[in-house]
Amino acid sequence: MILVLLVVGGSYLFLQRSIDSINKLHINDEVAVQSGAPFTVLVIGSDSRVGENAAEFGSAAEVAGQRSDVVQLWRVTPSTKQVQVLSIPRDTVVSMIGNDVSEYGTYNRINTSFGSGASQLVKTITANFGIPINHVVEIDFSGFQDAVNAVGGVYLDFNYPAKDTYSGLDITSPGCQLLDGAQALGVARSRHYYYYEDGEWQYDGTSDFGRIQRQDAFLRALIAAVKSKETNPIALARFAGSLHEGLEIDDGFSAGELIGLAETYHSFDGNDLVSQTLPTEDSSAFSDLGDVLVADQPAAQQMLVSIFGSSLIAPTNPPPDVDGSAEAPPTITPTTAAPAAPAAPAATPAPTPPPSFDPTPCTPS
């Protein structure tokens, strides 16, 4: 979420004030970033019910602890102004490490590790996938809503009415419409998505995968909303001031680093955001965990190498395969150079269009 602020640029005073007011996390195992080099930010969407306005989602007594509703790895490459987002489905089974083994067992869903805190989730991701984490951003329900409301909402286009009684989503009519923080949160959290077509309610059925697609649409819409306010100092001040509510960043994310990124990504467009989901497959090897997923190899490792390249390290605790056995990932060599004499430029594959029932960013007429 903090990276969305980077598209604003120019308003350094607002950025400085917002950084000073944001709660800080200390992450034991984060890796320092070399100046100008690509880096990786772990973005955690927390379902914690502790905090302002939490009662509307169920109190902390009713829904104890915290889990990571969202686990995203943002690969930021300042030299090319590129941002790649890798989403890991929350039901992906990984190897637990440290004290989590006695608490949650040898294997469990990746989102359970966040119950031991952001530092533990960082360790778990690096141990399983070999991805060094440079920074961490954590946002809860209240922080999400506050940020959306501060920019005046986001515009999403719905081809059909939509609802999810679990997330609170309730879109009664189709078309391009302005969503406030509560409505946007309903979209981003929706795992039980229904849309009204041909006179009856249809069920999406893709669960977390559909939610990840809708989160991508939301991110693009939020970037557009922030950019639309960049010449309005009052709106920018409201947005910057809202970020301390329900948001935490690691204490190594310095103001100087953020301000430099704000300048670099001033012209970043949401359409340039590259979003991918870790390849997974169903597994019946963990009957005690219910319906879960495991990393689909070698496709998963190929994707990791394509995003993180030579920065990957050897996992110390690889995740289990479909049969429930942990194995080292296959060796994938990063491609760093183009063929010497290509016959013709390689065609860039067109991105897979979202399902017609999913919302997409739009501009009001």
Task: Write the pLDDT tens digit of every residue in 130-149.
Answer: 999 999 999 999 888 988 99
Q: Look at residue 55 in the predicted model and tell me its pLDDT.
A: 42
Closest to 262 in 3D by CA, of 2, 38, 75: 2
Which residues, in sequence order, are bridge partners of residue 49?
Answer: none
Q: Look at residue 200 in the predicted model and tell me its pLDDT.
A: 97
352: pLDDT strictly greater than 60: yes
The alpha-helical segments, DSSP class H, found in 179-232 are: 181-189, 208-228
Mean pLDDT of 157-175: 96
Spatial contact of 153 and 184, defined as CB atoms under 8 Å apart: yes
Lookup: tokens for 12 = 């350094």
Q: Look at residue 272 in the predicted model and tell me its pLDDT.
A: 87
pTM of the model: 0.85
Sheet strands (E) in the chain = 23-25, 39-46, 68-77, 82-87, 93-95, 107-109, 135-139, 154-158, 162-164, 169-171, 175-179, 194-197, 200-203, 247-250, 274-277, 280-283, 292-295, 360-361
Q: Look at residue 69 in the predicted model and tell me its pLDDT.
A: 75
Q: Look at residue 267 in the predicted model and tell me its pLDDT.
A: 79
- What one-character DSSP code corresponds to residue 259? H
Alpha carbon 261 to chain centroid distance? 19
DSSP code string of 236-248: HHHHHHHTTTTEE
Q: Write the pLDDT tens digit of every residue in 84-122.
A: 999 999 999 999 999 999 999 999 999 999 999 999 999
The C-alpha atoms of residue 12 and residue 328 are separated, in whole angstroms, by: 45
Which residues, in sequence order, are bridge partners of residue 86?
Answer: 73, 276
Vertex 73: Cα angle to 106 and 337 (nearest 5): 110
The sign of the torsion formed by the CA atoms of 137, 117, 39, 84 equals: negative
Count of Cβ atoms closer than 10 Å to residue 251 Cβ:
13
50: pLDDT strictly greater than 50: no
Give the SS3 label for residue 267. coil
Q: Write the pLDDT tens digit of every residue in 8-41.
A: 444 556 666 667 778 889 999 999 998 889 999 9
What confidence category does residue 344 fall into, taking pLDDT thresholds of 50, 70 and 90? Answer: very low
Count of Cβ atoms closer than 10 Å to residue 333 Cβ:
7
